[in-house]
Structure 1
């Protein structure tokens, strides 16, 4: 699988019922755990004081990442994503190739 740095920003549509937001956020947490167990979500961070997340995600290609992996997130319809393909650095201490 290839690795991608993904910046996700969630914007809840104005007027959305707070109960719907809570339901989707709870479902999002569960789906993130599933994607981690499947090897698609490697790490996820939220910069302090910001409403965006930055993570390392894995998929066969960028199309599958967007359509099948990120597209399966309950908050995906409210998200924008910036996807950057990654490659191993020669000085990476965790490099295995």
Structure 2
């Protein structure tokens, strides 16, 4: 099952630049791991307001419970609010690899 996840990160006040850099580096490693496992399918950066830290992710997981476990394994989850939208196929979906 696929899920669209709107991920909004808010860094706590007083967090050092070094702590932010470390968290982002650990998040990048985990994102690559999830991608290699086939769970993180795509990531997008939507239009952002000044100072906003937000991503949209397309995840593949057997169910919502498994998705929650995947999201919880990501380091930035400590600072992040996720909004999950389960996706179902549309009858007119051209499918993966269709000409754009």
Tell whether the structures are fold-level matches, with TM greater than 0.5: yes
Give the distance between the partners of 2:78 and 2:48, measured in 1 at CA. 23
Structure 2 spans left out of the alignment, 5+ residues: none
The DSSP-based 3-state class of the residue aligned with 2:8 is strand
| Count of residues in correspondence between the two structures | 93
Please provide the CA RMSD for this pair. Answer: 1.2
Structure 1 residue ranges (4+ consecutive) displaced by more than 3 angstroms after TM superposition: none
- The residue correspondences of 1:1-97 to structure 2 (distance < 5 A) are 2-50=1-49, 51-66=53-68, 68-94=69-95
Give the distance between the partners of 1:52 and 1:40, measured in 2 at CA. 19
Give the distance between the partners of 2:58 and 2:16, measured in 1 at CA. 31
Give the distance between the partners of 2:48 and 2:58, measured in 1 at CA. 20
